[in-house]
A = this chain, B = another copy of it.
Amino acid sequence: MSLEAVAKRAGVSTATVSRVLNGISVVKGTTRTRVMKAVAELKYHPNLHARSLAGGRSRTVGVIVSNLDNPFFLDVYRTVESDCHAQGFEVVVANTAYSSEQLVSSVRLMLGRRVAGLAAILSEIDEAIVQELTDAKIPVVFFDVGRPGENITKIRVNYRKGVERIAEYLTQLGHRDIGFITHHMALEPVNARQLALIDSLAVVSPGARVRVFASSDSLEGGRQAARELLLSGPAPTAIVCVNDFMAVGVLKELRERGIRVPEDISVTGFDNIKLSEFCYPALTTVHVPRDVIGHTLFSSLIPDAMGNPVPGREHVIDPEFMVRDSTAVARTTPLRI
């Protein structure tokens, strides 16, 4: 069960067993074989706690995510996870469900685990936490929140650019009455999209009207927000959603009420999750490359031998506009609901 047991069985010292197990190559071939044999026979698994306690480090990467239910976050997480495994790191995840308290306790847990690095894929953030992370002096990478620092890399998406393209496109199609469906308006990266929409519309389509409706970040939330929007007065000609996940909920609500997309109302998403292609109608959206984000997260945490991105930097990811079937020329006659 323990190193010592293996050592005894192989007739060597624990130090030697440790060397073999860690691939330190000063061990003689025959000794190595003998040790390996003992390991196999005893079905020995190293105690990872002892290992990281003794070693000081921990081949474990921590990942904290706001909402694993949203396929966008899940995709990013999965990329980080697979990079970690590929490099022999374990991953421990925590889901904050957009709650600051959860975030605090997750961070403490990660720190307690002495993770080798910490990726925070979040929308919410607490200033005190940023400080605590800075003090921890382990590599940290933020996605969408925080700011770069000594040991902190920041990765963010150029939301403004993506939203501008949506605004331009809808304006071209004649939309001047727009509904914006979102969640957690107080969160910075979420709010960024809303501001960007309002700003760009003010430029390309002065006088355009935007009404905002918020609910939870879920299929159900999208549906709920759409319901409120529809109940609140004359329907807009287009609905811009803060992400694809909620947009799919919006589509459902419209369909249920016999409102045709895009003939009656155009709908746009954001993220380009796989589902946006499989829903009906396929969503016009903005592609945000989760794989690039995931790889960047990982490599800012664990720089490989090559000259990889160094902490303390900021990376900006550029999104890409994608037209599919959920947008069309604005109706000119009012929609009777």
Which residues of A are at the interface with B, using a C-beta cutoff of 8 A?
A: 43, 45-50, 52-53, 58, 68-69, 74, 78, 81, 90-93, 95, 108-109, 111-114, 132, 135, 218-220, 223, 248-249, 251-252, 255, 274-275, 277-280
7 residue pairs from A and B, CB less than 8 Å apart: A48-B114, A49-B50, A49-B114, A219-B275, A219-B278, A248-B275, A278-B279
Contacts of A248 in B (CB 8 A): 275, 278
Q: Which residue of B lies closest to A280 (CB)?
A: B280
Contacts of A58 in B (CB 8 A): 49
Interface of A is mostly: helix
Q: Which residue of B lies closest to A279 (CB)?
A: B279
Per the bound structure, the CA–CA distance linking A47 and B111 in Å amounts to 8
Per the bound structure, the CA–CA distance linking A298 and B113 in Å amounts to 23
Given contacts A69-B78, A74-B69, contact A219 B274 (CB under 8 A): yes
Partner of A90, one of B53, B92, B252, B277: B92
Partner of A135, one of B43, B48, B109, B255: B43
Per the bound structure, the CA–CA distance linking A47 and B54 in Å amounts to 12
Partner of A68, one of B78, B108, B279: B78
Q: Which residue of B lies closest to A113 (CB)?
A: B48
- Say how far A225's CB is from chain B's closest CB, in angstroms: 14
Q: How many copies of this chain does one complex carry?
A: 2
Per the bound structure, the CA–CA distance linking A255 and B325 in Å amounts to 13
Q: Which residue of B lies closest to A92 (CB)?
A: B92
Q: Which residue of B lies closest to A55 (CB)?
A: B49
Per the bound structure, the CA–CA distance linking A53 and B43 in Å amounts to 20
Partner of A46, one of B112, B249, B277, B280: B112
In the complex, which of the residues A49, A220, A223, A251 has the most CB atoms of chain B within 10 Å of its own CB atom? A49
Contacts of A114 in B (CB 8 A): 47-49
Q: Are A49 and B53 in contact (CB under 8 A)?
A: yes
Per the bound structure, the CA–CA distance linking A305 and B9 in Å amounts to 41
In the complex, which of the residues A52, A91, A112 has the most CB atoms of chain B within 10 Å of its own CB atom? A112
Per the bound structure, the CA–CA distance linking A274 and B220 in Å amounts to 9
Contacts of A280 in B (CB 8 A): 251-252, 255, 279-280
Q: Are A90 and B69 in contact (CB under 8 A)?
A: no
Known: A48-B109, A278-B279. 6 other contacts (CB 8 A): A48-B112, A49-B49, A53-B53, A219-B277, A219-B278, A279-B280
Per the bound structure, the CA–CA distance linking A74 and B92 in Å amounts to 16
Contacts of A219 in B (CB 8 A): 274-275, 277-278
Q: Are A108 and B45 in contact (CB under 8 A)?
A: yes
Given contacts A74-B69, A219-B274, A280-B279, contact A95 B81 (CB under 8 A): yes
